[in-house]
Amino acid sequence: MNSSLDTLATARRSIRKYVDKEVPESAIREMIALAATAPSPSNQQPVRYVRMVSQDVRHRVFTDMETGYESRVSQAKKLEKPRKAINILNHYRRYSRFMCHAPALFAVGVEKGGASFSKRMNRAGIPMGEALGVMGKDISLGLSLQLFMLGAVEQGLGTCILTAPLHFLDSDNPIVGLENLRVGCFVTLGFPDETPVDPGRKPLAEIYWEA
Ligand SMILES: Cc1cc2nc3c(=O)[nH]c(=O)nc-3n(C[C@H](O)[C@H](O)[C@H](O)COP(=O)(O)O)c2cc1C
């Protein structure tokens, strides 16, 4: 394959260092518009991008993350052999903190609620539990994000998805302004200040076969 899509997809890297330069709002709007073309179950379009512009909110997320990290470290220290757990916590923290310095930061999530198949059937009079393995909203989130990230590459911008910070944030204490969303990840955005090497991909035979 040698299409422009292939070029964009292979050029995309997770960027964790950014030039200190504002991202034009017009670029963000184009990326969101591209992301909005993603398919979703019954065209529900559940994905939301919340740009975190308030320094207060960003600071609050940072301090909540640090508090979550510290409390897990204290827990780990009570173990007979704490090193392993502390190493994991430090790794996740290292891959979380850079988001606080990114020129643009988004919380990306899906709307809470909505009528699933089983809820609609229950209402129609047939009691049903949630089906196993149905991840419509998560799939929608991923499809949308991929377009968002490719849209960034097209404009000379870099992104990085982050889920590590969510492990330090308390789900009982939602991020201010995001109470109606189930946040799936954060995404950083800016002009890249690094050119990471391609970390490589598994061979086709490992990810595709006939059964
Ligand atoms: C769902 C998901 C969660 C991720 N979480 C983090 C994260 O918390 N911190 C981070 O630095 N990178 C994170 N990444 C980026 C991956 O580490 C990266 O995509 C992977 O190493 C491949 O590198 P590439 O994106 O440059 O191809 C995440 C990626 C995905 C898709």
CATH of the domain at 93: 3.40.109.10
Q: Domain for residue 170, yes or no? A: yes
Does ligand 1 have an atom closer than 6 angstroms to the CB of 200? no
73 in any annotated domain: yes
pLDDT of 105 higher than 90 = yes
Question: Does residue 198 form part of some domain?
Answer: no
Strand partners, 104: 189
Residue percentage of the chain with pLDDT more than 90: 82
pLDDT at 116 over 90: no
- Range of the structural domain that residue 64 is part of: 4-193
Backbone angles phi, psi at 149, to 5 degrees: -70, -40
The verdict on residue 91 lying in a domain is: yes
pTM value is 0.93
| Residue 93 forms part of a structural domain | yes
Is residue 185 domain-resident?
Answer: yes
Q: Is the CB of 14 under 6 A from ligand 1?
A: yes
Count up the domains in the chain and report the number. 1
Residue 101 lies in a domain: yes
CA distances from 117 to 22, 109, 129 (A): 43, 21, 10
Give the single-character DSSP code of 71. H
For residue 161 and ligand 1, the question of a CB distance below 6 A is answered with yes
Residue 43 structure tokens: 């065209």
What is the model's pLDDT at position 119? Answer: 81
Query: pLDDT tens digits for 126-184?
Result: 988 877 667 899 999 999 999 999 999 999 999 999 999 999 998 766 676 788 899 99
Burial group, residue 33, by CB count within 10 angstroms (0-12, 13-18, 19+): exposed
CB 186 within 8 A of CB 165: yes
- Secondary structure of residue 202 in the 3-state scheme: coil
